[in-house]
Amino acid sequence: MRSSRFLILGLDGGTFDLLDPLIEAGELPFLGRLRKEGVSAPLTSVFPPKTIPAWYSFATGLDPGALGIFGFTEPDGGPGKSRLVQTYRPAEAIWDQLSRQGRTVGVLNFPMRGSSAVNGFFVPGMFGENPTTYPAELGSTLERMIGEPYLPELPPYRAPQRAPWMELAERSVEQRARAGVGLIERYRPEFMFALFRETDRVEHQHWAELARPVAEWPEDLRAFWRKVDAACAEIHRAFHGSGGNGVTLVISDHGHGAAMTDFFTNRWLHDQGYLQFRNGGDSLRRRVVSRVLVSLDRIPGARAVLSAVAGRLGEGQRADRIAHYMTGDGSFEAMAEKIDWKRTLAYSYPVPEAIYVNPYNPSITAEKRAEVVRRIRSELEAYPEARIEVFEPKEIYTGVSGHQAPVLFLRINGMGTESRMDFTYPKPMLHRRPGYFYGSGVHRMDGILLAGGPGVRGHGPRDGYSLLDVAPTVLEAMGSAIPSAMRGRSFADDLGLASA
């Protein structure tokens, strides 16, 4: 039985590794009921499983290769220059197609630089304050509707401000719910997508605590997830009460897990001779200080002090000057000025899971390029200190758009190791992530899929669902043609939604 109405709730970074224990503990009554009465399954992300390529792939049904979008940023200008990804255009999203067909749609908090014209409303999120909405006047209307300014993305986490940061995360979730309910009542959309980004931010920062049994969680983390569940329930009730029953999907762009170690790709490329500095290029002070800090972090008493100092060093210009004096700026952008671009063969920037052949080296012919790629892949796969899987774009995408695509992608230790582009640490492999590093969580491939509503089958679906399958599923279930360019396949039949 097809459905004329579809609600999709996005939990950024959502994973059953967290949801299942919370549901069993009775903390998530709405999501627990949806899982019990409807359908649930893992939802495999795209690679890299990052917020921007993943949500853009969900929206368009195209993989990152087809979109030419592999991370938050993209090359822009000369060496070490990049910019935030601007849009998924010229591709078309689910809501664009449904809008053209006269269906009323709504999009809330989707990560874009600006809004998209649709037959309904579009409120972008993530990239800054005062987002440009569609219709343009909706921004002021929305603030009157919720009674306060629309909250932007959560600020960077600092340990000394845990309590107000967690309170802001809860407040943000509550506000998204109020905004969603108000927009539903105003527009009565037939299709709606609403995203909660706060879940990913909390998981990144507090995974070490979230990995414990729920009974051992601090109350602020339990309270946060109760707010998320309640917010989902509010939007669900408003949507299904505004124009008749429909289908609710709860999905995530990727999963989450522990960040155990770090791999500094550019450090490895430098050690192997693929990346060359002028006049040495690296800072002796940074190498010495980073080694000392890592050693001190292994001492339990010193670990807490280092974490507190790291939190303080993130605050204010004076702290920035102190941190810069201690270690210098080890970011790729800063070090790019010291790289010898005439001799460098390869580097990792601006996508940390990727390696690029240097387009600024005049000596690299097509034959040399192929040889460099072959050698790097062979040496990384044989790297003795980690299990590194190396992929060429053609092995994970059906095609690659754009001329600035990476030549190789890396997945390290099953994604338990985070790829890094900076030069903060003097060796390629940091085997034990220090407590003063940002966060304790990192993305995984398996996200979540929950489905419920009249006609949705309550028995288990087939395995092997992909994030790319969601767009064709929604279109088929709503009686809209599936574009031939979409990479996924519909599972509407598995949900009992494919027949006319």
For 52-68, the pLDDT digits (tens) are 999 999 999 999 999 99
Contacts 24+ apart (CB under 8 A), 295-304: 297/432, 297/434, 297/435, 297/436, 298/432, 303/434, 303/435, 304/435
Domain co-membership, 366 together with 454: no
**Model confidence at 436: pLDDT above 70:** no
- What is the rounded average pLDDT for all residues in the chain? 87
Residue 124, CA atoms < 13 Å, CB-side half-sphere? 24
Whole-angstrom Cα Rg for the chain: 23
Domain co-membership, 112 together with 175: yes
Confidence of residue 318 (pLDDT cuts 50, 70, 90): very low
The predicted structure's pLDDT at residue 500: 54
Q: Which of 257-266, 277-286, 462-471 has the lowest mean pLDDT?
A: 277-286
Tell me whether residue 10 is in a domain: yes
| CA gap 320, 79 in Å, rounded | 25
Residue 351, CA atoms < 13 Å, CB-side half-sphere? 29
Domain co-membership, 389 together with 434: yes
Domain co-membership, 404 together with 269: yes
**Model confidence at 324: pLDDT above 50:** no
* Intra-chain end-to-end CA distance of the chain, in Å: 6
Tell me whether residue 336 is in a domain: yes
Tell me whether residue 482 is in a domain: no
Domain co-membership, 473 together with 454: yes
| CA gap 365, 30 in Å, rounded | 58
State phi, psi for 157 to the nearest 5 degrees. Answer: -80, 135
Q: How many domains does the chain have?
A: 2
**Model confidence at 329: pLDDT above 90:** no
| CA gap 170, 474 in Å, rounded | 30
The predicted structure's pLDDT at residue 331: 87
**Model confidence at 306: pLDDT above 90:** no
Sign of CA dihedral 379, 265, 352, 365: negative
Tell me whether residue 495 is in a domain: no
Domain co-membership, 266 together with 232: no
Please check whether residue 430 is in contact with residue 268, taking contact to mean a CB–CB distance below 8 angstroms: no
Tell me whether residue 115 is in a domain: yes
Domain co-membership, 382 together with 473: no
Give tens-digit pLDDT for 105-117. Answer: 999 999 988 888 9
Domain co-membership, 396 together with 306: yes
**Model confidence at 216: pLDDT above 50:** yes
Query: Which tokens go with 329?
Result: 């700026």
Average pLDDT estimate for 361-372? 94
**Model confidence at 345: pLDDT above 50:** yes
The predicted structure's pLDDT at residue 313: 45
Give tens-digit pLDDT for 410-424. Answer: 999 999 999 999 988
Q: In this structure, are strands 120-126 and 6-11 parallel, antiparallel, or unpaired?
A: unpaired
| CA gap 362, 345 in Å, rounded | 10
Distances (CA, A) of 183 to 97, 106, 142, 227: 20, 8, 8, 19
The predicted structure's pLDDT at residue 327: 42
Q: Which domain holds residue 417?
A: 261-438
Domain co-membership, 250 together with 266: no
Query: Residue 478 carries which side chain, given as an amino acid letter?
Result: M
Tell me whether residue 245 is in a domain: yes
Please check whether residue 154 is in contact with residue 172, taking contact to mean a CB–CB distance below 8 angstroms: yes
**Model confidence at 457: pLDDT above 80:** no
The predicted structure's pLDDT at residue 438: 64
CB count within 10 Å of CB 186 equals 16
Domain co-membership, 378 together with 453: no
Domain co-membership, 322 together with 192: no
For position 251, which CATH number holds? 3.40.720.10
Helix 162-187 vs helix 198-210: angle between axes, to the nearest 10 degrees?
Answer: 140
**Model confidence at 272: pLDDT above 50:** yes
Looking up tokens 């109760």 gives 226
Please check whether residue 364 is in contact with residue 293, taking contact to mean a CB–CB distance below 8 angstroms: no
Residue 72, CA atoms < 13 Å, CB-side half-sphere? 6
Tell me whether residue 494 is in a domain: no
Average pLDDT estimate for 125-143? 85
Distances (CA, A) of 496 to 118, 306, 325, 391: 29, 54, 62, 36
Average pLDDT estimate for 283-310? 52
Average pLDDT estimate for 289-315? 50
Query: Which tokens go with 354?
Result: 């990727």
Looking up tokens 């605590």 gives 209
Domain co-membership, 270 together with 405: yes
The predicted structure's pLDDT at residue 275: 96
Tell me whether residue 448 is in a domain: yes
Kindly provide the residue ranges of all beta strands, DSSP E only, lying in 399-444, ordered along the sequence: 408-412, 417-420, 429-430, 441-444
Burial 136-175 (b: 16+ CB within 10 A, else e): eebbeebeebbeeebbebbeebbbebeeebbeebbebbbb
Residue 400, CA atoms < 13 Å, CB-side half-sphere? 13
